[in-house]
């Protein structure tokens, strides 16, 4: 049994983690920490979670004995706790952005803080299993990818080597849970229902992850023009991506074959003939995707759908834990939805 | 031209009032006051309002010259401003509950404050035009009815004299805008979409208004069991009401005839053959309703729909203003939606 | 292993059954029959179902070897198939209304057809496990309850003996999946979003089941005034119920205690302190409920929530199958949602 | 007064036209024709339309005396009626695609029919007032633009001369009313709510209009890669567009200035500083848009929002009628929403 704790368990990603881990056959759930709900029962804070337990205040002590900790703190607030836990011998899956970027200066330019632990940044493994499965196995820190980068990378990695130098366009549409649980004008029901909008329309922070990982896969830097939009749905991200191939234009079937080959052994990526809808992956850890050649414009279009709280966050975090501890990769993740 | 101002113009009811009054042919819009948005343009705060103007801080001075003020403050915070304005000679339509109840002790028991102005409470007219049109004409203070009481009373007043002493059951379902613009866990999109719940399931404050006005119409006190629910929609209230007639059970057609007669001259109440849906009144000042006799159980069912921000608040407030100033009762209220 | 087949597998209840049974540890899924999709793969018709298999045309032969068949045909069209299967030795859970009513004349008056098999009507067990668990164990035909009656009965059975002779009021609000998968004006997205309405506002067919079972529990006939409404959500039913107790008015805590006692051993009924929201049971087989005493009006209010496709149909059907075959009652039903 | 009729008045565009024209100060509404609802009252078919009148069967006779007819037939079914009416001396605003394309062969390749009236195709004016206002004035046939092309063209026309030869990417998201009133699996509430998908993901028919008009504005053919998506909202289209400028990369402010200049005199196009949300134009005839320079990728992003039934169909049709008959261009179109 893996002894697992969740640090910052009362946001959306923490709640989804709680649900998954409570039903995971190989996990014993240890501490659930919270800042706002210390002493309250899980079932009181989240009536739809049928999980026993009480939230406790975070301290290294309450995590003693945990084999792994999932850290669900906001960006720039996670790295301290992560370092503390790792230094104390606990392996960590960090759901923040604090260890995703390899170039230290990126933390300053994209997230506005100076990162104090270059050693851990270097050591941390970017937790996209489809690329870094081997490294995750031994990782002390897994930097769990952002929701948008997950959907984007799964859609473009198989083609990375063949993308024209002008780069890619990533037009993403996300459900509201991606904005987090803290109420705001933007997430008020009356602002969202029967509405739709772009936001962070230039320079959204997730661009940095996309550029880093796509560049690594392509072997060369490629510009990424990323635009997120807010859908009037609870969960899910659909990304529509466009690129011009550097070589000659293959047809749709040829692209589909490549993608199928690329993901042939992946348990959580499904290459589809049809254009997948968001609801096909909601409350699952699957990414579904398809590719189309647009002969008229000479472009390739890629469509991916994921659940932002599952494959885009907590589900992928558990997938990473499974890999880290050598259990079945899909353990605890089947049968959802 | 009527010089009109809005005190507390940046909540939902204030915004809807702004839109109506800006397009009202007989109104000149004066001050729009706000506490949070002083100095900001209307179009910046509400991009969908194509109205010029800037929010100012409230003071009696900025309202000088106004013939009428719409006060959109929360309960218990409105009466001071209302009194100040009325004492200064400005007529007021108060959208709060602060002058709706006739029994002074009710303010203590239902709203938790001691009302300092019994004289104005006595003088104020309950602004349901279908009952108090004549009184509204001359009123200095119109206490604009609550959203739930409006839908409930329009549905039960025609039958008030024939309701069995056990009283009425009022099962209401409201859109989220009824909860106001301040973000909270309860109004977060993810808490509301694909969800539904009852709230204030016993003893909601609007019960007091319902009991008062139904009792007056019936000539005797009648118990009201009221249950509000939160619909995953922006606007609108549907109330389903049940009562046992004190006399013999009339059939549906007989009830419909009575209701038609009762509302024959009303510009904003439409008695329907069919069971009206919420969308039929959204963004209008209409109340639609129908009646059904349930022979098996010996009960009468009444269904009413209103837009909570229109006939349930701002639309009715303008209707009252039109009556107060002798303009066409529907002026500024046609052509909406 | 239980060999199970689904007759009429391509409606909503059939699809949910397919998902549950495909993941059920004690079930081997046999034939899935369809009229419109013969020869098509499950995953093509329902892309979100990750289940292998092909739809076949119904015949008694394709069901040979099945221990149990779930019949998901419309009312009046199911009884022939049910009879055929039972006569051939297959046990049946019938999700239609064709065996729910005990009085043969009710089929004529509520459903408009003459029932040809009085013997099977008499033999069939009304599949509400909380009442008829023992009978279900040995049943050849389980008449799976309607969605509205399930939510209503679970809310009123514990109080049945103490309801005043005037009976009960049942105000129910259901998601759109309750209307079935066939597209119509009523289920068009644009007719439903931001809308809400009552329908079958007097005399909905499910009233017959409610009257029958409440009367049996109460030991006397009690009138039921039932009004269904259509919520702009996919799944779930919330029922708000009102009755006057025949004895003295107990307080909320006393009622809660009784309900807790009544359901103490029930795996799928949860008596709550709080008023449960729809989302707490969505995609689960649970019914959550609470009770409130309304001192002012002398009434008791009961609130129940279920998922209409789970506890209201397919989930309850599987619960019944589990009871029939002596497997763990919750088998295949945990971990959903 | 303009005598106006609607041919095919019982679809969504016909219903919106009915509402606008019934409230239009310069219009007298004549015949409303229908195939399915002959003899039924407007208010019965559309309970939210408070318009008197009855649907009649189409014949040239029932339109006699009409100055203008709005033809709301499906593509390929409109041209016969349009020709008949024009030949009889009635001016026509055709909401179908039957006269939008100038190259006759396009009707075959995009819409699958041979166009019998090359003379009228040549004569017809593409009814985008922002480009063809002068021509609309005298037109006998106005080919009212498609919903997607309207949003796309208003966003790209000001930049048409400066778009790199690789062309433009148009990623559009539309509400469900764009799919029409006929119920289908795709428009079933349960298929749409909490869902999102692309459709016609390569080669949607509206591409032909976009290519034609963008090419004319640019003075050269430009490839258009267009992808429509289905939003879980009733009304509205948001288009996100990407292009590389042929010259040097201007900054956002410079682009905004150009757009403002281009649309300085346009009553229904609003260039915004902020990124406009769908709800800002719902139920209005406005198009709102903004432009952003993405320095990192060297691309320009344009965002436009329209209501697909208003500026994208019926509202624009009335705007065209106003221009044709020399009335105030915004007549009947203010005060909506």
- Here the CATH number for the domain that contains residue D40 is 3.40.50.720
- Token output for B253: 């057609």
Q: Are residues A155 and A292 in the same domain?
A: yes
Distance CA A231, CA A172 (A): 10
The owner of tokens 């309450």 is A62
Query: In the predicted model, what is the mean pLDDT of residues D234-251?
Result: 96
C335 confidence band (pLDDT: 50, 70, 90): low
SS3 D291: strand
Query: In the predicted model, what is the mean pLDDT of residues A248-268?
Result: 97
Instruction: With beta carbons under 8 A apart, name residues in chain C contacting D177.
Output: 190
CB count within 10 Å of CB B73 equals 22
Asked if D301 lies within 8 A of A202 by C-beta distance, the reply is: yes
Examine residue D268 and state whether it is found in any structural domain, yes or no. Answer: yes
Q: Are residues A21 and A102 in the same domain?
A: yes
Minimum distance, in Å, between the CA of residue D219 and any CA atom of chain B: 36
Contacts 24+ apart (CB under 8 A), D284-288: D284/D310, D284/D311, D284/D315, D284/D333, D284/D336, D284/D337, D285/D310, D285/D311, D285/D315, D285/D316, D285/D318, D285/D319, D285/D330, D285/D333, D285/D336, D286/D311, D287/D150, D287/D151, D287/D154, D287/D311
Could you tell me how many CB contacts below 8 A there are between chain A and chain C?
Answer: 32
Asked if A337 lies within 8 A of C48 by C-beta distance, the reply is: yes
Minimum distance, in Å, between the CA of residue D183 and any CA atom of chain A: 19
Are C81 and C98 in contact by the 8 Å Cβ rule? The answer is: no
Examine residue C29 and state whether it is found in any structural domain, yes or no. Answer: yes
Asked if B176 lies within 8 A of A189 by C-beta distance, the reply is: yes
Q: How confident is the model over B1-15, as pLDDT tens digits?
A: 999 999 999 999 999
In the predicted model, is pLDDT for residue C313 greater than 80? yes
Q: Are residues B225 and B102 in the same domain?
A: no
Q: Are residues A14 and A60 in the same domain?
A: yes
CA D194 vs CA A190, A235, A280, B330, D227: distances in Å:
16, 8, 11, 39, 20
Give me the catalytic one of B72, B90, B147, B287: B147
Asked if A173 lies within 8 A of D169 by C-beta distance, the reply is: no
Q: How confident is the model over B199-256, as pLDDT tens digits?
A: 999 999 999 999 999 999 999 999 999 999 999 999 999 999 999 999 988 999 999 9
B336 confidence band (pLDDT: 50, 70, 90): low
In the predicted model, is pLDDT for residue D337 greater than 80? no
Q: What is the percent of chain B where pLDDT is above 70?
A: 99
Q: How confident is the model over A18-28, as pLDDT tens digits?
A: 999 999 999 99
Q: State chain A's mean pLDDT as an integer.
A: 97
Instruction: With beta carbons under 8 A apart, name residues in chain B contacting C229.
Output: 173, 238, 240
Q: Are residues A140 and A224 in the same domain?
A: no
Asked if B337 lies within 8 A of D283 by C-beta distance, the reply is: yes
C-chain residue closest to A273, CA distance: C44
Q: What is the pLDDT of residue C5?
A: 98
Q: What is the pLDDT of residue D249?
A: 87
Chain centroid offset of residue C254 CA: 28
Q: What is the pLDDT of residue A18?
A: 97
Q: How confident is the model over A146-161, as pLDDT tens digits?
A: 999 999 999 999 999 9
Active site residues of D: 147
In the predicted model, is pLDDT for residue D257 greater than 80? yes
Q: What is the pLDDT of residue A257?
A: 98
Instruction: With beta carbons under 8 A apart, name residues in chain B contacting C207.
Output: 296
- Name which of B283, B334, B335 to mutate to probe chain D: the one with the most chain D Cβ atoms within 10 A of its Cβ: B335
- The domain that contains A217 carries what CATH number? 3.30.360.10
Query: In the predicted model, what is the mean pLDDT of residues B293-317?
Result: 97
Q: What is the pLDDT of residue A334?
A: 84
Q: How confident is the model over B88-109, as pLDDT tens digits?
A: 999 999 999 999 999 999 999 9
Q: What is the pLDDT of residue D326?
A: 98
Q: Are residues C317 and C302 in the same domain?
A: no
Q: Are residues A140 and A163 in the same domain?
A: no
Asked if C188 lies within 8 A of D181 by C-beta distance, the reply is: yes
Q: What is the pLDDT of residue D334?
A: 85
Q: Are residues C138 and C109 in the same domain?
A: yes
Q: Which run of H or E residues covers position C206?
A: helix C206-218
Distance CA B92, CA B41 (A): 25
Q: State chain C's mean pLDDT as an integer.
A: 97
B335 confidence band (pLDDT: 50, 70, 90): low
- SS3 sequence of chain A: CEEEEEECCCCHHHHHHHHHHHCCCCEEEEEEECCCCCCCEHHHHCCCCCCCCECECCCCHHHCCCCEEEECCCCCCCHHHHHHHHHCCCEEEECCCCCCCCCHHHHHHHHCCCCCCHHHHHHCEECCHHHHHHHHHHCCEEECCCHHHHHHHHHHHHHHHHEEEEEEEEEEEECHHHHCCCCCHHHEHHHHCCCCEECCCCCCCHHHHHHHHHHHHHCCCCCEEEEEEECCCCCCEEEEEEEEECCCCCCHHHHHHHHHHHCCCCCCEEECCCCCCHHHCCCCCCEEEEEEEECCCCEEEEEEEECCCHHHHHHHHHHHHHHHCCCCCCCCCCCCC
Asked if A189 lies within 8 A of B12 by C-beta distance, the reply is: no
In the predicted model, is pLDDT for residue D36 greater than 60? yes
Instruction: With beta carbons under 8 A apart, name residues in chain B contacting D47.
Output: 272, 274, 276-277, 280
Give me the catalytic one of C147, C190, C272, C287: C147
3-state DSSP: chain C helix, strand, coil percent, rounded to 5? 35, 25, 40
Q: How confident is the model over B266-304, as pLDDT tens digits?
A: 999 999 999 999 999 999 999 999 999 999 999 999 999
In the predicted model, is pLDDT for residue B337 greater than 80? no
Q: What is the pLDDT of residue B334?
A: 84
Indicate the number of domains in chain B.
2
Asked if D196 lies within 8 A of A236 by C-beta distance, the reply is: yes
Minimum distance, in Å, between the CA of residue A188 and any CA atom of chain B: 5
Minimum distance, in Å, between the CA of residue A278 and any CA atom of chain C: 10
In the predicted model, is pLDDT for residue A209 greater than 90? yes
C193, C194, C274 ranked by CB distance to A47: nearest: C274
Q: Are residues D300 and D276 in the same domain?
A: yes
- The length of chain A in residues reads 337
Q: What is the pLDDT of residue D336?
A: 60
C47, C274, C280 ranked by CB distance to A48: nearest: C280
Domain that holds residue D291: 148-306
Asked if D337 lies within 8 A of B274 by C-beta distance, the reply is: no
Asked if D337 lies within 8 A of B283 by C-beta distance, the reply is: yes
Taking the whole predicted model, whether its pTM rises above 0.95 is answered as yes
Minimum distance, in Å, between the CA of residue B282 and any CA atom of chain D: 9
Q: What is the pLDDT of residue A336?
A: 60
Q: What is the percent of chain A where pLDDT is above 70?
A: 99
Examine residue B153 and state whether it is found in any structural domain, yes or no. Answer: yes
- Name which of D165, D229, D239, D244 to mutate to probe chain A: the one with the most chain A Cβ atoms within 10 A of its Cβ: D229
B48, B272, B337 ranked by CB distance to D279: nearest: B48
B276, B280, B335 ranked by CB distance to D335: nearest: B335
Instruction: With beta carbons under 8 A apart, name residues in chain A contacting B176.
Output: 188-190, 193
C85 confidence band (pLDDT: 50, 70, 90): very high
Examine residue C94 and state whether it is found in any structural domain, yes or no. Answer: yes
Instruction: With beta carbons under 8 A apart, name residues in chain B contacting D331.
Output: none
Examine residue B154 and state whether it is found in any structural domain, yes or no. Answer: yes
Instruction: With beta carbons under 8 A apart, name residues in chain C contacting A280.
Output: 47-48
Minimum distance, in Å, between the CA of residue C190 and any CA atom of chain D: 5
Give me the catalytic one of A90, A147, A272, A287: A147
Q: Are residues C89 and C199 in the same domain?
A: no
Examine residue D23 and state whether it is found in any structural domain, yes or no. Answer: yes
Minimum distance, in Å, between the CA of residue D294 and any CA atom of chain A: 6
Could you tell me how many CB contacts below 8 A there are between chain B and chain C?
Answer: 140
Distance CA A98, CA A106 (A): 10
Instruction: With beta carbons under 8 A apart, name residues in chain D contacting A233.
Output: 193-196, 232
Examine residue C278 and state whether it is found in any structural domain, yes or no. Answer: yes
Examine residue C155 and state whether it is found in any structural domain, yes or no. Answer: yes
Q: Are residues D181 and D278 in the same domain?
A: yes
Instruction: With beta carbons under 8 A apart, name residues in chain D contacting C12.
Output: 190
Q: How confident is the model over C220-275, as pLDDT tens digits?
A: 999 999 999 999 999 999 999 999 999 988 999 999 999 999 999 999 999 999 99
Q: Are residues B16 and B115 in the same domain?
A: yes
């Amino acid at each position: 049994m893996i002894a697992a704790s969740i640090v910052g368990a009362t946001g959306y990603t923490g709640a989804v983690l709680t649900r998954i881990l409570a039903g995971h056959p190989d996990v014993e759930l240890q501490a659930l920490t919270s800042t706002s709900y210390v002493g309250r029962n899980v079932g009181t804070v989240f009536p739809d979670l049928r999980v026993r337990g009480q939230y406790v205040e975070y301290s290294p002590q309450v995590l003693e004995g945990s084999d792994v900790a999932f850290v669900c703190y906001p960006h720039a607030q996670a790295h301290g706790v992560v370092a503390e836990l790792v230094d104390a011998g606990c392996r960590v899956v960090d759901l923040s952005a604090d260890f995703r970027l390899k170039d230290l200066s990126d933390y300053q330019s994209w997230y506005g803080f100076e990162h104090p632990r270059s050693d851990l940044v270097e050591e941390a493994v970017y937790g996209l299993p489809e690329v870094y499965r081997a490294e995750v196995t031994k990782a002390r820190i897994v930097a769990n990818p952002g929701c948008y980068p997950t959907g984007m990378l799964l859609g473009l990695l198989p083609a990375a080597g063949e993308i024209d130098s002008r780069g890619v366009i990533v037009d993403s549409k996300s459900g509201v849970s991606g904005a987090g649980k803290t109420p705001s004008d933007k997430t008020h029901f009356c602002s969202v229902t029967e509405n739709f909008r772009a936001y962070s329309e230039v320079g959204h922070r997730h661009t940095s992850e996309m550029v880093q990982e796509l560049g690594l896969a392509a072997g060369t830097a490629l510009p990424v023009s990323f635009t997120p939009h807010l859908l009037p749905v609870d969960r899910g991200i659909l990304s529509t991506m466009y690129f011009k191939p550097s070589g000659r234009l293959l047809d749709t079937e040829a692209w589909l074959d490549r993608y199928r080959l690329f993901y042939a052994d992946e348990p959580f990526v499904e290459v589809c003939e049809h254009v997948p809808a968001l609801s096909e992956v909601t409350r699952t850890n699957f990414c579904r995707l398809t590719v189309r050649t647009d002969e008229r414009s000479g472009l390739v279009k890629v469509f991916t759908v994921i659940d932002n709280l599952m494959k885009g966050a907590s589900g992928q975090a558990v997938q990473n834990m499974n890999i880290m501890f050598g259990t079945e990769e899909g353990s605890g993740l089947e049968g959802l939805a």
